[in-house]
Amino acid sequence: MEKSRDQLLREIRSLKKRREQLEESISIKRAALESTAEGILIVDGKGKVIDFNEKFTKLWNIPSDIVKQRGDNRFIQYVLQQLSDPDSFVDRIRELYADPDVESLDEIHFKDGRVFERYSLPLHLDGKSAGRVWSFRDVTERGRIEEALHKSEEKYRNILENIEEGYYEVDLAGNYTFMNEAICRRQGCTRDELMGMNNRENTSPENAKKIYRIFNEIYRTGVPAKIIDYEIIKKDGSTINLEMSVSLLRDASGKPIGFRGVSRDVTEKKKAEERLHYLANYDSLTGLLNRALFRDRLSHAVERALRNRGVVAVLFIDLDRFKSVNDTLGHEFGDKLLQAVARRIKECLRKSDTIARLGGDEFTIMLEDIASPERAVTVAKKILQALVRPISVNEHEIYTSASIGITVYPGDAADIDGLLRNADSAMYLAKERGRSNYQFFTPEMNAKAQERLLLESSLRRALEKEEFLLYYQPQVDIETGGLIGFEALLRWRHPDLGMLAPDRFIPIAEETGTIIAIGEWVLRTACTEWRSWRDAGFPPVDMAVNISILQFRHRDLPETLAQILKETNMDPRYLELELTETALMTNPERCRDILAKLKAMGIRFAIDDFGTGYSSLSYLKRYPIDTLKIDRSFVKDVATDPDDAAIVQVIIALGRTLRMCVMAEGVETLEQSDFLKSQNCRKAQGYLFSPPLTPDAAVEWLKKAARPPLVGTV
């Protein structure tokens, strides 16, 4: 059947249209093919190239005409020469052609370091296998990023594991979800033991409560916090102190999922702080409070007393003659004595009483909330009593005593400085009243304390300003009344206070150490005076000079003396050094050495105030002593008190046994003089014969001595 023309035209038109449609669809596909980021290659079942896109030629760096050769050897050469492992590439292609329905995704590596992702998809036409679509994507950059990511993660983990600080993460309930090595190390646990453990399990209940509160607060506000004092109980039971930061841990969506932070071990730091605190507030020798903390406690007590109308008493305790123990037996010895004394005093106190060491041999006690000042008396008596028993230190038995001053708030002072000052003044009164006693503060004491301060500061310059002078008291033969010698007695012409007797300033000079220089001045002046008398033509007389215990122990004394004797050309046989029993009985071995050294120079010795101290006979026997001076307290009542008379008799007998000369001092009456004469005491000194004299008056005595003396006249 012949087609009609119309029919033919219609077919042509429709064919044309289909072609147009087809072309359109092909160009759409083409455009699609070119617009992807991947390089695409389509091959048929036999491996012949059907199609490819621009990107493919670019990725593989192959001129497109070579690809168009379809299956040409040159094409495969181009591909293989670029790869770092061409064999496995070829193998993979073979495998895939053997199994046309398999999809595959792998990576291919280039010699130049590039990495492609290779995707292969079976191509089906009308349900039949018709080849493959290969797509390639350059993933070199992605690999680099992954590698960098991996590396940086490792770096951070490395840092985390190697830092001193602990890093932890916990969930919202406080269970550990992550921690670094430092945390495990510090807590003495393995990671497994810690994982899942609650952070409240390894701390005290109070701490746990505190942590809970802080975590809650952070959860509520989102504001990070720092926990400064977090005590952790380690697995072995010991504790460590942490300082820890805490902040909220959120997931990617910002939802809180736990807490995290850094913790630092501050155990050592805390210990150092505690040590500093201790040093700032306690006395390291005795463990008692120091001045600073005592003042603090006292001011609180005063505040409380003000509110509750209470009474606070302050006791100021100063050991008697501690300085000489320290100077003669050494500081180490002195320290031990102080420790022992601190213990003794403490035993006299109640728990609620506060005791401190202010420094040196000074202790203070605060009695708070006492019903009446009587309690202070009880405590003071107890302390004095406790110190009566000797204290043994380094196998020495040391006898000590204390002088105690007491002051009471609110009666005596309005503030703590006033209280401390008053107690100090009262303590000085106790010293003046013969030591080993207690005294309450009285307003007159303030004046005394003021004077003491004044003396202390002016004493320093008294030597330079030539304010010292010596008086000379005659020593006589009690039988004939003839002059034997003089005792040099120190005076201080104070610019404001007038002439001062040594008892007022010698103790201060001893405490401040100025006694060494003053003592040297005394020796030099006395010897110079002696020389001037000799040069004036008088016959030689004895010159007695008082030596302080400190001066006696000073290592320069022998040299100083030798120097002075040489300077003044004094005959040492006429020089008699007066030493107290205390000076001679502390550290007797050392004492014997010094005595021997001076004795070798020809100097003589007297024991001053004999009978008031504790002398050991065995030492007395071994010392080269020439004279015993009976203390004037015994002489005073010798004519009326049989006890004192007996003591004086014993001393005189002792002197005779030890072949020492005996001298009575403070002889004021004829009765005393007669009694002494009846006991065969050879020498005497006292107002009965003469008071201490100025140098000019002493010369008058020397002149008179040339004439026959009249007993009992001045």
Residues lying near ligand C2E in the complex (CB under 6 A): 473, 489-490, 501-503, 506, 519, 522, 546-548, 578, 608-609, 632, 665-668, 686-687, 692
Q: Give least dist CB 300 to ligand C2E, A.
A: 44
Using CB under 5 A, which of the segments 37-45, 163-171, 268-276, 539-547 binds Ca ion? Answer: 539-547
- Rounded Cα distance between 78 and 80, Å, is 6
Q: Give least dist CB 302 to ligand C2E, A.
A: 40
- Rounded Cα distance between 243 and 87, Å, is 61
- Binding of Ca ion at residue 576 (CB under 5 A)? no
Residue closer to Ca ion by CB (options 258, 692) is 692
- Rounded Cα distance between 363 and 316, Å, is 6
Q: Give least dist CB 442 to ligand C2E, A.
A: 25
Q: Give least dist CB 562 to ligand C2E, A.
A: 19
- Rounded Cα distance between 244 and 226, Å, is 6
Q: Give least dist CB 547 to Ca ion, A.
A: 9
Q: Tell me how long the chain is.
A: 714
Separation of CA 121 from chain center? 81
Q: Which does 509 bind (CB under 5 to 8 A by kind): Ca ion, ligand C2E, none?
A: none
Number of residues in contact with Ca ion under rule CB under 5 A: 4
Residue closer to ligand C2E by CB (options 227, 517) is 517
Using CB under 5 A, which of the segments 43-51, 305-313, 427-435, 602-610 binds Ca ion? Answer: 602-610
Q: Give least dist CB 662 to ligand C2E, A.
A: 15
Helix (H) or strand (E) holding 454: helix 444-462
Q: Give least dist CB 676 to ligand C2E, A.
A: 13
- Rounded Cα distance between 24 and 629, Å, is 145
Residue closer to ligand C2E by CB (options 156, 687) is 687
How far lies 249's CA from each of 224, 246, 259, 264, in Å?
10, 9, 5, 19
Judged by CB under 5 A, the residue of 265, 578, 581, 644 near Ca ion is 578
Residue 396: strand pairing partners = 393
Q: Which does 501 bind (CB under 5 to 8 A by kind): Ca ion, ligand C2E, none?
A: ligand C2E
- Binding of Ca ion at residue 609 (CB under 5 A)? yes
Amino acid at 117: E
Amino acid at 131: G
Q: Give least dist CB 547 to ligand C2E, A.
A: 6
Helix (H) or strand (E) holding 494: strand 483-494
Measured from the Cβ of residue 388, the count of other Cβ atoms closer than 10 Å reads 10
| DSSP codes joined into one string, 515-563 | HHHHHHHHHHHHHHHHHHHHHTTPPP-EEEEE--HHHHH-TTHHHHHHH
Q: Give least dist CB 688 to ligand C2E, A.
A: 7
Instruction: Return the structure tokens found at 175.
Output: 């269970």
Q: Which does 548 bind (CB under 5 to 8 A by kind): ligand C2E, Ca ion, none?
A: ligand C2E
Residue closer to Ca ion by CB (options 108, 545) is 545
Q: Which does 310 bind (CB under 5 to 8 A by kind): Ca ion, ligand C2E, none?
A: none
Judged by CB under 5 A, the residue of 263, 286, 546, 627 near Ca ion is 546
Residue closer to ligand C2E by CB (options 338, 681) is 681
Q: Which does 686 bind (CB under 5 to 8 A by kind): ligand C2E, Ca ion, none?
A: ligand C2E
Residue closer to Ca ion by CB (options 542, 578) is 578
- Binding of Ca ion at residue 529 (CB under 5 A)? no
Does residue 53 sit in helix, strand or coil? coil
Q: Which does 506 bind (CB under 5 to 8 A by kind): Ca ion, ligand C2E, none?
A: ligand C2E
Q: Give least dist CB 544 to Ca ion, A.
A: 7
- Rounded Cα distance between 652 and 317, Å, is 38
| DSSP codes joined into one string, 327-339 | HHH-HHHHHHHHH
Residue closer to Ca ion by CB (options 400, 627) is 627
Residue closer to ligand C2E by CB (options 422, 546) is 546
Residue closer to ligand C2E by CB (options 328, 407) is 328
Q: Give least dist CB 546 to Ca ion, A.
A: 5
Residue closer to ligand C2E by CB (options 328, 546) is 546
How far lies 233's CA from each of 197, 199, 274, in Å?
14, 11, 19
Query: For residue 151, with 0-12 CB atoms within 10 Å meaning exposed, 13-18 middle and 19 or more buried, which class applies?
Result: exposed
Residue 688's nearest CA partner among 666, 708, 705 is: 666
* Contact letters for Ca ion, residues 137-156 (x by CB under 5 A): --------------------
Cβ proximity of 466 and 443 under 8 Å? no
Q: Which does 502 bind (CB under 5 to 8 A by kind): ligand C2E, Ca ion, none?
A: ligand C2E
How far lies 668's CA from each of 508, 610, 644, 665, 688, in Å?
29, 18, 15, 9, 4
Q: Give least dist CB 714 to ligand C2E, A.
A: 11
**Interface positions, 57-76, toward Ca ion (CB under 5 A):** none
Instruction: Return the structure tokens found at 25.
Output: 């669809």
Q: Which does 503 bind (CB under 5 to 8 A by kind): ligand C2E, Ca ion, none?
A: ligand C2E
Residue closer to ligand C2E by CB (options 488, 541) is 488
Residue closer to Ca ion by CB (options 265, 578) is 578
- Rounded Cα distance between 242 and 211, Å, is 12
Residue closer to ligand C2E by CB (options 53, 473) is 473
- Binding of Ca ion at residue 327 (CB under 5 A)? no
Q: Give least dist CB 518 to ligand C2E, A.
A: 7
- Rounded Cα distance between 347 and 541, Å, is 56
Residue 230's nearest CA partner among 245, 250, 248, 251 is: 245
- Binding of Ca ion at residue 608 (CB under 5 A)? yes
Using CB under 5 A, which of the segments 14-22, 78-86, 570-578, 698-706 binds Ca ion? Answer: 570-578
For 565-587, give one letter per residue: b (16+ CB within 10 A) or e.
beebebebebbbbbbbbbbbbbb
Q: Give least dist CB 685 to ligand C2E, A.
A: 6
Separation of CA 290 from chain center? 13
Instruction: Return the structure tokens found at 383.
Output: 């302390």
Using CB under 5 A, which of the segments 44-52, 557-565, 577-585, 693-701 binds Ca ion? Answer: 577-585
Q: Give least dist CB 613 to ligand C2E, A.
A: 13
Residue closer to ligand C2E by CB (options 49, 570) is 570
Residue 317's nearest CA partner among 431, 147, 447, 169 is: 431
Residue closer to ligand C2E by CB (options 263, 473) is 473
- Rounded Cα distance between 430 and 403, Å, is 5
Residue closer to ligand C2E by CB (options 407, 672) is 672
How far lies 485's CA from each of 52, 540, 675, in Å?
140, 8, 22
- Rounded Cα distance between 441 and 426, Å, is 5
Q: Which does 416 bind (CB under 5 to 8 A by kind): ligand C2E, Ca ion, none?
A: none
Q: Give least dist CB 445 to ligand C2E, A.
A: 22
Instruction: Return the structure tokens found at 609.
Output: 């105030």
Using CB under 5 A, which of the segments 136-144, 245-253, 338-346, 538-546 binds Ca ion? Answer: 538-546
Note the residues at the interface with Ca ion (CB under 5 A). 546, 578, 608-609
